[in-house]
Amino acid sequence: MTLKQTAAGVILLTMMVTGAACSSAPKNTASPSPSASAAASPQATAETQDTINMKGYIGARISQEKVGFLFGEAKSKDGKLILNPIAADSKEKAVKFLSSYFDAAMADKLAAHYLTEQQADGAIVTNPTSFFPTNLLDTTKADVTFDTANTADQVKFTTKDGATYTTKKVNDKFVISDVAKK
């Protein structure tokens, strides 16, 4: 459960308890209670940069996990890695699947890296070498340094081994737009 969900739950519970208390107490028309509305309304709708940074980092981890699902899970009868037929059976479908997690240029780079001209069991054989310099699934927040110039729409971070990931906000979620190794 995220901090945002927990805070929303506490506010909702407070409002329910306050509402129940107000409905059972006699009405006092002399002075409305500003504390009940003041407790609910000052909730900041703007996210902190730390929260945005975490969303960018988590978005990058999810994106990398989807690449593993698409290019690194399915195997042919002879043990070769093949394009996962559950998600795609052609380069175009693979790029479309990836476009939910990467910007268009990155999705094309990934397809060019992983998809080969070989076929096995009627599927495209994939390149077993990772495109990514760092496996983000093996990292934690403590393993990355966030760029101080990050914004609400772009989060850039560097791993301990020098890989820099840039994510950008597209349709209210973060997708990877660039990966570089220093």
Q: What is the pLDDT of residues 106-159, one digit of tens each?
A: 999 999 999 999 999 999 999 999 999 999 999 999 999 999 999 999 999 999
pLDDT given at position 40: 45
> What are the percentages of helix, strand and coil residues in the chain, rounded to 5?
45, 20, 35
Q: What is the pLDDT of residues 11-29, one digit of tens each?
A: 544 555 445 445 444 454 4
Would the pTM count as exceeding 0.75? no
CA distance 13 to 7: 10
pLDDT given at position 106: 97
Backbone φ and ψ for 144, nearest 5 degrees, come out as -125, 155
- The tokens describing 16, both together, are 């329910």
In the chain, the domains with their CATH numbers are 48-182 (3.10.450)
